[in-house]
Chains A and B, each alone.
Chain A
Amino acid sequence: MSRERNRNYRQRVDEALASPRLQQALHSFGDAYVVARQNAFAGLDFEAMRSEIGSMKDRVREQRHELVAEFTRNAEAAGAKVFLARTADEANRYIAELAAAQGVKKVVKSKSMASEETHLNRTLEASGIETLETDLGEWIIQLAGQRPSHMVMPAIHMFRDEVATLFSKVTGQPEADDIPHLVKVAREQLRQGYFEAEMGISGANMAIAETGGIALITNEGNARLATTLPKVHVALVGLEKLVPTLEDATKVMRILPRNATGQLLTSYVTWIRGAVPCGEDDKELHIILLDNGRSALAESPQCRDALRCIKCGACANVCPVYQTVGGHVFGHIYISAIGVILTAFFHGLENAADLVKACIGCRACVAVCPSDIDLEGIILHLREVLGEEEGVGAGKALVFKHIMRNRKLFHSMIRAASLLQKPVTRGERSIRHLPLFFSSLTEWRTLPAIADKPLRDSWKSLPQKVQSPRYRVAFFAGCLNDFVYPEMGNDLVKVLNRLDVEVLFPKEQNCCGVPALYSGDRETAVALAEQNITAMLADQPDFVVTTCPTCTMSLQRDFIELLKDNPVWAEKARQLAEITIDVSRFIVDKLDGKTVFAEDPVGEKVTYHDSCHLKRGAGVWEQPRTLLAGSGREVVEMAHSDRCCGFGGSYSFTSHPDIAKHILNDKVKDIEATGASCVAMDCPGCIMQIRGGLEKQEKPVRAKHTIELLAESLK
């Protein structure tokens, strides 16, 4: 790993975290976005729409050579020139040479992320050509000498006073920091440029093979001017923008503005085919289809779904990391989740290395992606690739390869740690302060102590009273439940026994492998998957029940993926996935178990935190609420209930504790605002994080797993 690169990155993280104004702006934008988006999709079936876009884009990838040929044929028949640029450099050179040949001195540009990707302005300016960005946001960042921090709103990180300062320099007089005034200044200042420029450069949202035309989806009207007034029009278009037909293009047009900004449609959708009239003559239209890594992306089975992206920017809008540090940290040229992936292919893995680790894995982006891309899944894969290329770090490698894979060694080391921690825990369940260089770990949250006796060691002494069990289930505890919160296991047994379910604890179960997998050590993850499959299926249980949704995802999703090419293990992985279920869903869906819980006499006010992997991984969010309300509690919703708590496993310990802390603080504020005396959740990781934050900040709110609250309510 390049130390220099990492140092620069860390510095940018620190600067962003020290800018509360930016965070506040991105948070309130995120809130407004969710509402606007919801309204924009009212009466429409988002899931159906995005699955159509996804499969259409897959067809485009498969038939890309034919579609490029069809597009080129039709565009050229309409008088356009089409150039297929393999690299950014080829695209830039083509445009620079064209400009030189035409005697172009000034270029007006409308917004084009592809031209940001190729650093076109640099090339043109090096050739002595003045380039003028005419999109308001792009012009602002051009004046500021920066790059976009959002794909749709490039200057979202800037404020009116900063814009006023920039504009004052242009006009040579002080400009008021009043937004309508600043917009007017931009209109007036840029106006002359369209008439003077000999060339207009645009991007495109779609390139339609059927017609050989392009379409631009815009709001400001500058793209219409830039494609009308100058004699030459150059459209720089990423190959992934190809769509087969006008039907497909219309479908993209219907979903893109709704998902990008919550608009039903942008002010302008402009369909341009061929060399249209320009003054007394015809326009000269050049369309550059840009590859620059897209073919390589198309060839990667694990990553190629990223080519479905229609560049709406929604993955940034909902991302807790983006909202905390902005696009200049969580992005290279393309930002946020999709940016991580595109950067790896368009700008090299080196530039994506830090970003790949900055994703907290909450899957908020996956839920809103209009092209149905499993962004988190692809980022995980890139983390594996990076682990192979750069190593996962010597310490981690040692732990994963030589300790975790050897279950007995791993577990005896945890037991030893439980003794070693005595001096700091002083027998308490929470660690409030750690000495010396570990002190930063408990600066913003308490940490739980490792239990004196893990669940596995006390299991035999747990009385199970089930006469004729309805089901025999195996409990997959996961490391936290087993070694840190064994009491959750006791509660699970109590509740399930009461519902006539016998619970087994297969002793050979090991860590689910997520820490290794998420750190990029696939080999260890495979070894752990095999160990766990053997352990959990050994007693032929009816179900495998979990209390940790990350473990659930691992058993349900990751094991299948990890072992899919192994004929011995693939079928077993599928079997395990089929019977794995988290405990709240098990109680509601399989046991209809609401009846055994007594009405809570006080009617405690409880708010519910949706864990990322439970809601967006397993699709479970109603069941725990049903159970909590069914046991007589008053369930009050917090704002952003399904926003990540900032735990993310090693994310909050080693990789990005500084960002995790900010995300946790948001969560604590939302919990506190409900006035609830208890926050329930179904994830021991979230409990570690949220309880740690509440304790550290001395908030009178208890953080509990739903199963613990249910155990309190048994009749």
Chain B
Amino acid sequence: MLKQFIEALGKVGGQAAEVATVREAAAYIAGHVTGTLLLPSQPSLERVALAVELETAGVKVIKESWREHAASANAGVTGVNFALADTGTVVLDSTVEAVRLATTLPELHFALLDPGKILVDSLAAIPYLRGFHERAPRNYLAYITGPSRTADIERVLTIGVHGPRQLHVLLLPGLSTDYYEL
């Protein structure tokens, strides 16, 4: 399933990287970021102290007042609730506004996924989709499949329009087993 996910993600222009530790993840991110980075509060990423690792690696991390910094940020980092293997999709509960800001405005989006949380396809995701709706009264849920794209001029596929130009999915084992946790 992991192999299928990585392959599908590659086909839609996303990049997958397998990392063994949070430090490796932070190093990977640091190697790509050229400006500030939005880091919304998320349980899984807080548990592994990603912010500290990123700062140690020299990244300027925005940990609050995201709206103020959103327009000028170069990257956003989020966890992933779970992924879909057949289409290379990552599913993010984006009800918290900072998650939306971090995944819409910056040019780079880094998504940290526990490779244990991959479902076969969108049909298998329906119980979780319903679960989100049962757990919270209001929801903003995102299925993200590759970077933003357009073919609106002469049908020529161009990657990166209004949303991120790059989507990096970092596969970090042991990050989270909870499908409802970002």
Report which of A180, A222, A246 forms a contact with B158, defined as CB distance below 8 A.
A180
Report which of A77, A190, A261, A274 forms a contact with B139, defined as CB distance below 8 A.
A274
Give the B interface residue count (CB, 8 A): 48
Q: Is B133 an interface residue (CB 8 A)?
A: yes
Determine whether the beta carbon of B161 is less than 8 Å from that of A273: no
Q: Is B87 an interface residue (CB 8 A)?
A: yes
Determine whether the beta carbon of A272 is less than 8 Å from that of B126: no
Instruction: Note all chain B residues with C-beta closer than 8 A to A268.
Output: 142-145, 148, 163
Instruction: Note all chain A residues with C-beta closer than 8 A to B104.
Output: 221, 224-225, 228
Determine whether the beta carbon of B152 is less than 8 Å from that of A228: no
Determine whether the beta carbon of B156 is less than 8 Å from that of A250: no
Most buried by A among B140, B146, B156: B140
Determine whether the beta carbon of A224 is less than 8 Å from that of B138: no
CB A329 to nearest CB in B, in angstroms, measures 19
Determine whether the beta carbon of A191 is less than 8 Å from that of B71: yes
CA distance A191 to B146 in the complex (A): 21
Determine whether the beta carbon of B122 is less than 8 Å from that of A254: yes
CB B77 to nearest CB in A, in angstroms, measures 17
Known contacts A179-B154, A250-B123; A224 and B142 CB within 8 A of each other: yes
Q: Is A470 an interface residue (CB 8 A)?
A: no
Determine whether the beta carbon of B138 is less than 8 Å from that of A159: no
Interface residues of B in 141-180 (CB under 8 A from A): 141-156, 158, 160-164
CB A240 to nearest CB in B, in angstroms, measures 22
Q: Is B27 an interface residue (CB 8 A)?
A: no
Determine whether the beta carbon of A277 is less than 8 Å from that of B150: no
Instruction: Note all chain A residues with C-beta closer than 8 A to B18.
Output: none
Q: Is A289 an interface residue (CB 8 A)?
A: no
Known contacts A159-B154, A279-B97; A187 and B129 CB within 8 A of each other: no
Most buried by A among B96, B103, B104, B162: B162
Looking at A135-143, A344-352, A475-483, A640-648, the stretch in contact with chain B turns out to be: A135-143
Determine whether the beta carbon of B133 is less than 8 Å from that of A265: no
Instruction: Note all chain B residues with C-beta closer than 8 A to A263.
Output: 12
Instruction: Note all chain B residues with C-beta closer than 8 A to A163.
Output: 153
CB A268 to nearest CB in B, in angstroms, measures 6
Per-position contact with B for A196-236: 1 when CB-CB < 8 Å, else 0? Answer: 00000000000000110100000111101101100000000
CA distance A270 to B138 in the complex (A): 13
Instruction: Note all chain A residues with C-beta closer than 8 A to B21.
Output: none
Determine whether the beta carbon of A246 is less than 8 Å from that of B153: no
Report which of A77, A187, A265 forms a contact with B162, defined as CB distance below 8 A.
A187
Instruction: Note all chain B residues with C-beta closer than 8 A to A250.
Output: 122-123, 125-126, 129
Tell me whether chain A's interface is mostly helix, strand or loop, or mixed: mixed
Report which of B89, B101, B140, B152 forms a contact with A154, defined as CB distance below 8 A.
B152
Instruction: Note all chain A residues with C-beta closer than 8 A to B71.
Output: 191, 195
CB B135 to nearest CB in A, in angstroms, measures 12
Give the A interface residue count (CB, 8 A): 63
CA distance A159 to B153 in the complex (A): 7
CA distance A282 to B122 in the complex (A): 29
Q: Is B67 an interface residue (CB 8 A)?
A: yes
Most buried by A among B137, B152, B154: B152
Determine whether the beta carbon of A273 is less than 8 Å from that of B139: yes
Find the B residue at minimum CB distance from A153.
Answer: B152
CA distance A278 to B105 in the complex (A): 15
Q: Is A247 an interface residue (CB 8 A)?
A: yes
Determine whether the beta carbon of A277 is less than 8 Å from that of B95: yes
CB A313 to nearest CB in B, in angstroms, measures 12
Q: Is A269 an interface residue (CB 8 A)?
A: yes
Determine whether the beta carbon of B161 is less than 8 Å from that of A220: yes
Find the B residue at minimum CB distance from A184.
Answer: B160
Report which of B126, B137, B144 forms a contact with A247, defined as CB distance below 8 A.
B126
B residues near A (Cβ < 8 Å) are: 8, 12, 67, 71, 86-87, 89, 95-97, 100-101, 103-105, 122-123, 125-126, 129-130, 133, 137-156, 158, 160-164
A residues near B (Cβ < 8 Å) are: 25, 29, 32, 77-79, 134-137, 140, 153-156, 158-160, 163, 179-180, 182-183, 186-187, 190-191, 195, 210-211, 213, 219-222, 224-225, 227-228, 246-247, 250, 253-254, 261, 263-279, 282
Q: Which 8 A-B pairs have the closest CB atoms?
A: A221-B163, A274-B138, A137-B152, A221-B148, A269-B143, A136-B152, A271-B141, A222-B162
Name 7 A/B residue pairs within 8 A (Cβ), A-sorted.
A213-B139, A263-B12, A268-B144, A271-B141, A271-B143, A275-B138, A277-B95
Contacts A78-B137, A79-B138, A271-B139 given; 7 further ones with Cβ under 8 A? A182-B153, A213-B133, A220-B152, A224-B163, A246-B129, A264-B8, A264-B87
